[in-house]
């Protein structure tokens, strides 16, 4: 039991915003919270959805960090601020950026302020599909399989594919880049006042799951492996790192500059960073062999198991298995879906088109009324679709969808794949199509569970976290029905930020291990959905049709042309 009145800060960088909370380390009670929406990202600056290019400016991150921490301190009061012991950060990933030797992102250097290639390459950026395919083909030519711990398939969402794409595409960046850094490693470096990239402490989470670091080859794959892939990568590993750290360790102490900017004590510990879902799994009180599903724009599915119980097992087609990436001294396994909430948002945007493009030009109603109508509809459309879809009878031959609207993350990464909706007829309305899309995302989640089970790592339970889990009983009930397994919903609204706070408390020495922080600071569960057996049998039949349709789509020429090198890899995965 730790002393009362010791506080920690958890900072959670999501796709659209950064969320910060101040937490009482004795019991996990949230004493302040703040959200900051990235202004440049909100305008979709530096992005081009038609090219699958999604970049974020480092100033969105820096300004959001300062703004949310300061707001939290105003809420909590100076007395609480004086007792803050540590800060830890989680981010989306893989979201890397080109930096100079001081660790400064190139977008913060004169001449690169408006260059998308000098900015953070968001996880959902798929501009490097061809580079990922080359990496996969390249890996088969070597005796050592350097992809074995990332599921056997390298994704365009990850570090090396993005680096190679930017080096090839942009001569100015190529001539000024010194190293490449994940967002979750850069923020702690920033807060500790780092000015030498070689002093940056890289987390095992990002290194193992996205950068091919493994203790089995004493760090990163050899330089020869990369130089043979492309001479542009020759010598690059020497500018990266050899050692990695679990998130229960300190990255350092807050710098004088940042302590003054934020109004915090000079001895605040800064923890080693990690990806959002990994810390979110801890905030959601993950248990061995229980799949913790962080469900937002995409999903990240996390599973931990005692290392000795899964030793020698390699799960093909997932996002990796890395010792200590979630809980130190346990094997961390990651999977997920590239589009989950994003699939619903896409359909919502399709339905909103008349309001945004016709009603906005109306000569009958005022601009203020138009805005109110658009805002009200945007807020109510998904809840109303969910209500009507829940009341539809479930039939074996209903409309059927495939959830690859942003490619497929797992099992078997392939960002060239596309979504689909089949079985449409003149009676197919918005509610029926919406239900098919929701069902597809649940089927995609089941495919992940099936892969773990088939490869000898049993999934014994489900834990739901994130916005979709908290807000949509309709989707969560369907998830339970499709999985034929109960799903518990964690009470916390901010499991990722809470997980970061737990790691902060551990890094500061308030707890001996993060499991103790989980026990003391965990908020428990406030809902549980059980499968409706009347629906389970029908979903089982529809799931088989989903797999058949997905298999058919993968064989179509418009899919194969852009993923030729994936074919042999997927066939053997």
Structure token pair of residue 289? 């062999």
> Could you tell me if 497 and 362 lie in one domain?
no
CATH number at residue 372: 3.30.420.40
pLDDT over threshold 60, residue 573? no
- Kindly state whether residue 318 falls inside one of the protein's structural domains: no
Please give the full DSSP string across 70-134, using - where no structure is assigned: HHHHHHH-HHHHTTEEEEEEEE-SS-EEEE-TTS-BGGGSTT-TT-GGGSEE-TT--TTHHHHHH
In a domain, 309, yes or no: no
Please write the tens of the pLDDT for every residue from 202-260.
999 999 999 999 999 999 999 999 999 999 999 999 999 999 999 999 999 999 999 99
Given a cut of 50, whether residue 416 has pLDDT beyond it is yes
- Give yes or no for residue 563 having a pLDDT over 70: no
Residue 352 has pLDDT above 90, yes or no: yes
**Calpha distance 318→152 (Å, rounded):** 8
**Segment 63-99, tens digit of pLDDT:** 999 999 999 999 999 999 999 999 999 999 999 999 9
Residues 419, 498: one domain? Answer: no
Residues 380 and 506 both lie in one domain: no
pLDDT over 60 (residue 564): no
> What pLDDT, on the 0 to 100 scale, is given for residue 344?
97
Whether omega before 94 lies within 30 degrees of 0, making that bond cis, reads: yes
Q: Does residue 278 sit in the same domain as residue 375? A: no
Asked if residue 72 lies in contact with residue 21, where contact means CB atoms within 8 angstroms, the answer is: yes
DSSP bridge pairs for 490: 525
Rounded (10°) CA dihedral 336, 337, 341, 343: 180
Q: Which residues pair with 105 in a beta bridge?
A: 99
Residues 271 and 384 placed together within one structural domain of the fold: no
- Give the pLDDT confidence score for residue 568 in this predicted structure: 43
Return the pLDDT at 516. 97
- pLDDT > 50? residue 495: yes
> Does residue 336 lie within any of the structural domains?
no
- At 297, the pLDDT band (50, 70, 90 cuts) reads confident
Question: In this predicted structure, what is the pLDDT of residue 1?
Answer: 57
Q: Residue 237: which of 299, 159, 297, 314 has the closest Cα?
A: 159
The parent domain of residue 276 ranges over 7-284+492-527
Residue 33 has pLDDT above 90, yes or no: yes
Q: Cβ(212)–Cβ(233) under 8 Å? A: no
Residues 33-55 as b or e (16 or more Cβ within 10 Å = b): bbbbebebbeeebbbeeeebbbb
Q: Which two tokens stand for residue 116?
A: 């998308």
Percent of the chain with pLDDT over 90: 92
Give a yes or no: residue 311 inside a domain.
no
Residue 569: pLDDT band with limits 50, 70, 90 = very low
Asked if the structure places residue 291 within a domain, the reply is no
Whether residues 473 and 498 fall in one domain:
no
Using pLDDT thresholds of 50, 70 and 90, give the confidence band for residue 572. very low
β-pairing, 525-529 with 250-253? unpaired
Question: How many domains, in total, are found in the chain?
Answer: 2
Cα 402 to Cα 98, 312, 406, 421, 425, distances in angstroms:
35, 33, 11, 6, 17
- Is the same domain home to 460 and 388? yes
Q: Is residue 434 part of a domain?
A: yes
Per DSSP, what are the bridge partners of residue 21? Answer: 10, 33
77 located within any domain: yes
241 and 256 housed in the same domain:
yes
Tens of pLDDT, residue by residue over 52-65, are 999 999 999 999 99
Q: How confident is the model at residue 562 (pLDDT cuts 50, 70, 90)?
A: very low
Contacts 24+ apart (CB under 8 A), 389-397: 389/431, 389/432, 389/434, 389/435, 389/438, 389/474, 390/474, 390/477, 392/431, 392/432, 392/435, 394/535, 394/538, 394/539, 395/538, 396/538, 396/541, 396/542, 397/423
Judgement on whether residues 406 and 542 belong to the same structural domain of the protein: yes
Q: How confident is the model at residue 166 (pLDDT cuts 50, 70, 90)?
A: very high
Confidence of residue 201 (pLDDT cuts 50, 70, 90): very high
Mark whether 360 and 500 lie in a shared domain.
Answer: no
Beta carbons within 8 Å of 108's beta carbon, 6+ residues apart: 58, 59
What is residue 361's predicted lDDT score, i.e. its pLDDT? 87
E-strand stretches of 127-244? 179-182
Q: pLDDT tens digits for 432-482?
A: 999 999 999 999 999 999 999 999 999 999 999 988 999 999 999 999 999
pLDDT in the model for residue 448: 97
- Does 289 fall in a domain? no
Mean pLDDT across 535-559: 93
Cα gap 504→20, rounded to integer Å: 13
497 and 567 co-located in one domain: no
Residue 571 banded pLDDT, cuts 50, 70, 90? very low
- The reported pLDDT for the residue numbered 360 is 85
CA distance 469 to 441: 13
Helix, strand or coil for residue 549? helix
What is the DSSP annotation of 3-67?
PSS-EEEEEEE-SSEEEEEEEETTT--EEEEEEEE-HHHHTTTT-BGGGTB-EE-HHHHHHHHHH
CB-CB contact of 46 with 57 (8 Å): yes
- Strands 250-253 and 330-337, bridge-based pairing: unpaired
**Residues 267-291 pLDDT 10s:** 999 999 999 999 999 999 999 999 9
Mean pLDDT of 171-186: 98
What pLDDT is recorded for position 567? 41
Residues 421 and 550 in one domain: yes
Q: Mean pLDDT across the stretch 135-160?
A: 96
Which residue in this structure is represented by tokens 């069902």?
Answer: 439
């Amino acid at each position: 039991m730790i002393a009362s009145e010791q506080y920690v800060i958890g900072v959670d960088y999501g796709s659209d915003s950064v969320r910060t909370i101040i937490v009482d380390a004795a019991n996990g009670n949230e004493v302040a919270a703040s959200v900051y929406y990235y202004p440049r990202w909100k305008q979709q600056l530096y992005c081009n959805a038609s090219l699958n290019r999604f970049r974020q400016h480092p100033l969105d991150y820096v300004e959001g960090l300062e703004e949310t921490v300061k707001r939290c301190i105003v809420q909590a009061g100076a007395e609480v601020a004086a007792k803050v012991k540590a800060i830890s950060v989680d981010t989306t990933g893989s979201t890397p950026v080109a930096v100079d030797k001081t660790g400064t992102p190139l977008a913060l250097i004169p001449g690169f302020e408006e260059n998308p290639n000098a900015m953070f390459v968001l996880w959902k950026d798929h501009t490097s599909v061809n580079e990922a395919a080359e990496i996969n083909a390249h890996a088969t030519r070597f005796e050592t399989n350097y992809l074995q711990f990332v599921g056997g398939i390298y994704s365009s969402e990850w570090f090396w594919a993005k680096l190679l794409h930017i080096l090839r595409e942009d001569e100015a960046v190529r001539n000024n880049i010194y190293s490449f850094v994940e967002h979750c490693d850069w923020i702690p470096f920033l807060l500790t006042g780092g000015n030498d990239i070689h002093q940056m402490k890289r987390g095992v989470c990002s290194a193992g799951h996205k950068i091919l670091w493994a203790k089995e080859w004493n760090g990163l794959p050899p330089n020869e492996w990369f130089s043979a892939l492309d001479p542009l990568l020759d010598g690059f590993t020497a500018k990266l790192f050899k050692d990695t750290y679990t998130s229960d360790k300190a990255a350092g102490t807050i710098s004088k500059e940042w302590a003054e900017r934020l109004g915090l004590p000079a001895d605040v510990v800064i923890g080693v960073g990690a990806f959002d879902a990994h810390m979110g799994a801890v905030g959601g009180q993950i248990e061995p062999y229980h799949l913790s599903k962080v469900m937002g724009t995409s999903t990240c599915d996390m599973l931990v198991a005692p290392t000795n119980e899964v030793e020698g097992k390699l799960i093909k087609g997932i996002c990796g298995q890395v010792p200590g990436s979630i809980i130190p001294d346990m094997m961390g396994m990651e999977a997920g879906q590239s589009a989950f909430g994003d699939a619903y948002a896409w359909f919502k945007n399709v339905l909103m088109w008349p309001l945004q493009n016709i009603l906005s030009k109306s000569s009958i109603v005022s601009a203020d009324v138009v805005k109110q109508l658009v805002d009200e509809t945007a807020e109510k459309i998904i809840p109303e679709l969910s209500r009507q879809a829940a009341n539809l009878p479930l039939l074996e031959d209903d409309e059927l969808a495939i959830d690859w609207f942003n490619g497929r993350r797992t099992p078997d990464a392939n960002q060239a794949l596309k979504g689909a909706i089949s079985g449409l007829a003149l009676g197919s309305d918005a509610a029926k199509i919406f239900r098919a899309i929701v069902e597809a995302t649940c089927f995609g989640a089941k495919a992940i569970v099936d892969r773990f089970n088939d490869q000898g790592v049993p999934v014994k339970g489900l834990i739901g976290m994130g916005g979709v889990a908290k807000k949509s009983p309709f989707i969560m009930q369907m998830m339970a029905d499709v999985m034929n397994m109960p799903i518990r919903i964690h009470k916390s609204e901010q499991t990722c930020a809470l997980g970061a706070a737990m790691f902060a408390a551990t890094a500061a020495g308030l707890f001996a291990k993060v499991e103790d922080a989980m026990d003391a600071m965990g908020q428990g569960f406030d809902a549980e959905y059980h499968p409706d057996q009347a629906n389970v049998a029908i979903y089982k039949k529809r799931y088989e049709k989903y797999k058949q349709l997905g298999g058919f789509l993968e064989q179509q020429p418009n899919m194969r042309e852009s993923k030729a090198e994936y074919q042999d890899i997927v066939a053997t995965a």
